[in-house]
C-alpha cells in the first residue's frame, strides 16, 4: 500500500500536471470503485482543480466550489499519467502488471490520470464529497509525526496500549505509516515490533520519534530523486535500499544476522533479532503453534535447527 513518502511524491507529480487544470471527463470501469452517490462524480466534469492534499494514505483533489475527489489506493491500486495524444481513450497503460486493469480514468485538458488495480480483490476506493466537513469525515485522525513535537508524539503513542507495530500502522494513531515503513522505522530505532507502548521509557520514545521522522523524510527524498520530475510509475512496498522490509533471510545491513519475519494475514513484519530484540525470535503464530515446544527462542537455536 502506498504510504506517506509515496503519497507525497504522487501529490508533487500531480501538482505539476493537474493543478489549475480542468477535468474534462471521468470514465469508471469498475462499478464498485465509487463509494459515494451524492454529489455525482460526473458533477466534477468541467471543474478546475484548485488544491491537492494528503489525508493519511489518501489523495484528495480539490475542485471549484469545494468539491473533493478522494482516492484511496489500498494495497494494489496505482496511479499512472498519460500525456495528451499518447494513447487513445481506453487504451491500457503499458507495462502494468499482469491482471492489472484500468479501474478509472480522469481526462484533464493536460493529460489523463488513470487508477489501475492489480489482482482479483478490489479494495481501492473513490469518494466524492462537497465541503470541508465531509472531507474531514474521511480523515482517520492519525498524528502527523512530521508536524508534531516529541511531547505530542509521546502522548499519542501511549494513549492506547498496543505493540509498536500496531501503534505505528493504526491510522487513528499515526498518519500515513503502513507495513513497509513501520518495519524500517522500528529497525532504525532498534526497537522490537512486539514491544508494548506502555512499557517504553522516555529514551525509547524519543528514539522512535526521531527514527520515524528521519525514515519518512529520507524515503520521501529518495523517491523524489528516483522519479526525477517524472510521474512515479514504480510504486512498490519493496524498495531497493530498505534495511529489513521484504528482506527475510538476507543479512542485516548493520550486524549481518539474517532478517527474520512474522507472518499474519496478508502481511508480514520483518525485523533483525540481533539489533531489535536482543537476539530473541518473535513467535510466528502459525509456525510456533505447529512446532510448539520445538519453536526456537533465539537466533542460536534457529541456527542449530537449520544444521540438523
Q: What is the predicted pLDDT for the residue at 302?
A: 40
Q: What is the predicted pLDDT for the residue at 70?
A: 98
d(CA 203, CA 34): 45
Q: Could you write out the DSSP letters of every residue in 100-157? A: -EEEEEEEETTEEEEEEE-SS----EEEEEESHHHHHTT----B-GGGS-HHHHHHHH
- Shared domain check, 115 and 56: yes
Tell me the Ramachandran region of residue 219: left when phi exceeds 0, alpha when psi lies from -120 to 50, beta otherwise: alpha
Domain C-terminal end among 107, 136, 165:
136
pLDDT value at 84 more than 80: yes
Q: What is the pLDDT of residues 128-177, one digit of tens each?
A: 999 999 999 999 999 999 999 999 999 999 999 999 999 999 999 999 99
- Shared domain check, 158 and 74: no
* 180: CB partners within 8 A, 6+ apart: 3, 237, 238, 239, 242, 245, 246
Mean pLDDT, the chain, as a whole number? 88
Please indicate whether residue 12 or residue 88 has the higher confidence score (pLDDT).
12
Q: What is the predicted pLDDT for the residue at 287?
A: 45
Q: What is the predicted pLDDT for the residue at 99?
A: 40
Cβ(175)–Cβ(140) under 8 Å? yes
CATH number at residue 236: 1.10.8.50
Q: What is the predicted pLDDT for the residue at 88?
A: 44
Mapping DSSP to helix (H, G, I), strand (E, B) and coil, where does residue 271 land?
A: strand
Domain span holding position 35: 4-136
pLDDT value at 77 more than 80: yes
* 41: CB partners within 8 A, 6+ apart: 26, 28, 34, 69, 126, 128
Q: Is 153 exposed, middle or buried (0-12, 13-18, 19+ CB in 10 A)?
A: buried
pLDDT value at 285 more than 70: no
Q: What is the predicted pLDDT for the residue at 32?
A: 86
Q: What is the predicted pLDDT for the residue at 237?
A: 78
Cβ(148)–Cβ(210) under 8 Å? no
If one counts the domains in the chain, the total is 2
Mapping DSSP to helix (H, G, I), strand (E, B) and coil, where does residue 237 land?
A: coil
As given in the structure block, the three cell numbers for residue 180 are: 513497509
d(CA 147, CA 169): 17
d(CA 62, CA 294): 56
- Shared domain check, 150 and 117: no
Q: Could you write out the DSSP letters of every residue in 238-251? A: --TT-SSTT-TTSB
CATH number at residue 13: 3.20.190.10
Domain C-terminal end among 90, 105, 136:
136
What is the average pLDDT across 201-224?
A: 97
Q: What is the pLDDT of residues 107-135, one digit of tens each?
A: 999 999 999 998 777 889 999 999 999 99
Q: What is the predicted pLDDT for the residue at 298?
A: 53
CA separation, residue 95 to residues 100, 191, 234, 259 (Å): 10, 39, 10, 31
Q: What is the predicted pLDDT for the residue at 92?
A: 43
Cβ(268)–Cβ(193) under 8 Å? no
Q: What is the predicted pLDDT for the residue at 47?
A: 98
- Shared domain check, 284 and 169: yes
Within a 10 A sphere around the Cβ of 73, how many other Cβ atoms? 23
Q: What is the predicted pLDDT for the residue at 1?
A: 83
d(CA 124, CA 77): 6
- Shared domain check, 172 and 123: no
* 79: CB partners within 8 A, 6+ apart: 10, 14, 59, 71, 73, 113, 114, 115, 116, 231, 235
Q: What is the predicted pLDDT for the residue at 118?
A: 85
pTM for the full predicted model = 0.88
Domain C-terminal end among 113, 136, 159:
136
- Shared domain check, 204 and 100: no
Cβ(22)–Cβ(46) under 8 Å? yes
- Shared domain check, 159 and 277: yes
* 54: CB partners within 8 A, 6+ apart: 4, 7, 8, 11, 60, 176
Angle between helices 4-18 and 202-227 (to 10 degrees): 40
Beta strands (DSSP E) in the chain are 23-28, 49-55, 58-63, 67-72, 77-82, 101-108, 111-117, 125-130, 260-264, 267-271
Stretch among 22-26, 200-204, 260-264 having the lowest mean pLDDT: 260-264
CA separation, residue 18 to residues 72, 81, 82, 275 (Å): 18, 10, 12, 45
Amino acid at each position: 500500500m502506498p504510504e506517506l513518502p509515496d503519497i507525497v511524491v504522487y501529490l508533487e507529480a500531480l501538482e505539476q500536471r493537474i493543478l489549475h487544470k480542468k477535468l474534462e471527463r471521468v470514465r469508471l470501469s469498475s462499478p464498485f470503485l465509487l463509494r459515494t452517490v451524492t454529489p455525482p462524480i460526473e458533477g466534477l466534469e468541467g471543474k478546475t482543480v484548485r488544491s491537492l492534499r494528503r489525508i493519511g494514505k489518501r489523495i484528495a483533489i480539490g475542485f471549484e466550489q469545494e468539491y473533493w475527489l478522494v482516492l484511496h489506493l489500498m494495497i494494489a491500486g496505482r496511479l499512472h499519467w498519460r500525456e495528451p495524444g499518447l494513447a487513445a481513450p481506453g487504451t491500457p497503460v503499458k507495462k502494468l502488471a499482469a491482471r492489472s486493469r484500468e479501474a478509472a480514468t480522469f481526462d484533464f485538458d493536460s493529460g489523463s490520470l488513470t487508477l489501475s488495480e492489480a489482482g482479483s480483490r478490489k479494495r481501492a476506493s473513490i469518494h466524492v464529497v462537497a465541503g470541508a466537513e465531509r472531507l474531514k469525515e474521511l480523515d482517520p485522525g492519525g498524528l502527523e509525526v512530521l508536524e508534531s513535537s516529541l511531547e505530542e508524539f509521546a502522548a499519542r503513542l501511549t494513549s492506547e496500549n498496543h505493540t509498536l507495530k500496531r501503534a505505528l500502522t493504526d491510522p487513528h494513531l499515526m498518519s500515513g505509516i503502513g507495513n513497509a515503513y513501520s518495519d524500517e522505522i522500528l529497525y532504525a530505532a532498534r526497537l522490537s515490533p512486539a514491544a508494548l507502548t506502555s512499557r517504553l521509557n522516555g529514551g525509547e520514545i524519543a528514539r522512535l520519534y526521531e527514527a520515524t521522522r528521519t525514515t519518512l523524510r529520507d524515503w520521501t527524498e529518495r523517491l523524489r530523486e528516483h522519479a526525477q520530475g517524472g510521474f512515479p510509475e514504480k510504486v512498490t512496498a519493496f524498495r531497493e535500499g530498505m534495511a529489513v522490509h521484504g528482506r527475510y533471510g538476507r543479512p542485516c545491513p548493520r550486524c549481518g544476522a539474517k532478517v527474520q519475519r512474522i507472518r499474519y494475514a496478508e502481511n508480514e513484519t520483518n525485523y533483525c533479532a540481533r539489533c531489535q530484540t536482543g537476539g530473541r525470535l518473535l513467535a510466528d503464530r502459525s509456525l510456533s503453534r505447529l512446532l510448539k515446544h520445538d519453536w526456537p527462542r533465539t537466533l542460536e537455536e534457529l541456527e542449530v535447527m537449520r544444521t540438523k
